[in-house]
Chains A and B, each alone.
Chain A
Amino acid sequence: MTKRVAILAALAIVAGPALAHHGWGSYDAAHPVTVAGPIVTSKFENPHVTVSVRGSDKTWTVTLAPTSRMVSRGASAAVVAVGKTISAYGYPSTAEKDEMRAERITVDGKTYEMR
């Protein structure tokens, strides 16, 4: 039992910083997608900013970075506002339907890294 607890605790300590706030484990990094289209809804909120994007095939929920990181990288609320055209490169969720996690986004010719 003590050993199991120690292993769990060690795992938690190691996995925490390596994977940042949320795991990228439930995103399929082997099959990246690029979703491009107009932003239909935008929630500039913690823990992650999310926008929905009307892509060519369907409307995607695109998960971006925490608000403070968005702002510090220059991707303010105005950059990802409703009506803007966005191109998001990232990984589709293996848990949530039509959701993807963006590695980087491009708006008005400017690229912003989300990690």
Chain B
Amino acid sequence: MNEHAPALFVALEASNFAAAIRQSLFLYPLANVGHILSLACFAAAVGVMDVRLIGGLSATAPARVIGRARRFAIAALCGLAVTGFMLFAAEASHVVLNPVFQVKMALIAVGIANVAIYELAARRVVEALPPGAPMPTRARLAGGFSLGLWLLVAACGRSIAYF
């Protein structure tokens, strides 16, 4: 326990919930494995969406491909959030002060903001496009930015243990 952490995170780590995760033989490893599997699904779904936005898979209808992948991406993101929260809670007071964790959380916020901007500013145009139509620049930008950003988030996640 790091008492210098903000009280909220000290309390989270001291909670029965966090203690149960630490003391169970299987909960922590389960959350760890679940986080990686969710990440794999998330990367696959986001990869399909972003590649389509950049202009790849151009023979497909954007609305259909992106619409299907979106459901998987949202489900996987929920899985990441649940398992991530379990891993975080177990060591909250230490992890919250970890610089790489802080960068990771900021990058996730940027990633979600990117999704929001895309949804507001580009989604309608993109999903009206027929197969083979060129992608507008804003869609290409959103897709390319997203792809790089989520890879960085994953790299940060793995790096938390080393800082």
Q: Which A residues lie at the B interface, using CB under 8 A?
A: 1-2, 5-6, 8-9, 11-12, 15-16, 19, 21-23, 25-26, 44-47, 66-68, 71
**Secondary structure type dominating chain B contacts:** helix
A46 to chain B, nearest CB (A): 4
Q: B158 contacts which chain A residues (CB < 8 A)?
A: 12, 15-16
Partner of A71 from B23, B25, B148, B162 at Cβ < 8 Å: B25
Q: Does B141 contact A (CB under 8 A)?
A: no
Q: B25 contacts which chain A residues (CB < 8 A)?
A: 67-68, 71
Contact check, A12 vs B159: say whether CB atoms are below 8 A apart.
yes
Q: B19 contacts which chain A residues (CB < 8 A)?
A: 45
A2 and B151 alpha carbons, distance in the complex (Å): 10
A115 to chain B, nearest CB (A): 15
Q: A15 contacts which chain B residues (CB < 8 A)?
A: 158, 162
Contact check, B151 vs A5: say whether CB atoms are below 8 A apart.
yes
Q: How large is the interface on B (under 10, 10 to 19, 20 to 34, 35 or more residues)?
A: 20 to 34
Contact check, B161 vs A9: say whether CB atoms are below 8 A apart.
no
Contact check, B162 vs A26: say whether CB atoms are below 8 A apart.
yes
Q: Does B72 contact A (CB under 8 A)?
A: no
Contact check, A11 vs B155: say whether CB atoms are below 8 A apart.
yes
Other contacts beyond A5-B155, A11-B155: 17, CB < 8 A:
A1-B148, A5-B151, A6-B151, A8-B151, A19-B162, A22-B161, A23-B161, A46-B23, A46-B27, A46-B28, A46-B29, A47-B22, A47-B28, A47-B91, A68-B25, A68-B29, A71-B25
- Can you identify 7 A-B contacts, CB atoms within 8 angstroms? A8-B155, A9-B151, A9-B154, A22-B162, A46-B22, A47-B28, A67-B23
A11 and B27 alpha carbons, distance in the complex (Å): 28
B5 to chain A, nearest CB (A): 16
Which residue in chain A gives the minimum CB-CB distance to B162? Answer: A23
Which residue in chain A gives the minimum CB-CB distance to B152? Answer: A5
Q: A68 contacts which chain B residues (CB < 8 A)?
A: 25-26, 29
Given that A23-B161, A47-B90 are contacting pairs, would A66 and B28 also be in contact in the complex, using a CB cutoff of 8 Å?
yes
Q: A11 contacts which chain B residues (CB < 8 A)?
A: 155
A47 and B151 alpha carbons, distance in the complex (Å): 25
A5 and B154 alpha carbons, distance in the complex (Å): 10
Contact check, B23 vs A8: say whether CB atoms are below 8 A apart.
no
Contact check, A5 vs B148: say whether CB atoms are below 8 A apart.
yes
B56 to chain A, nearest CB (A): 15
Mark B133-152 against chain A: 1 for CB-CB distance below 8 A, else 0: 00000000000000010011
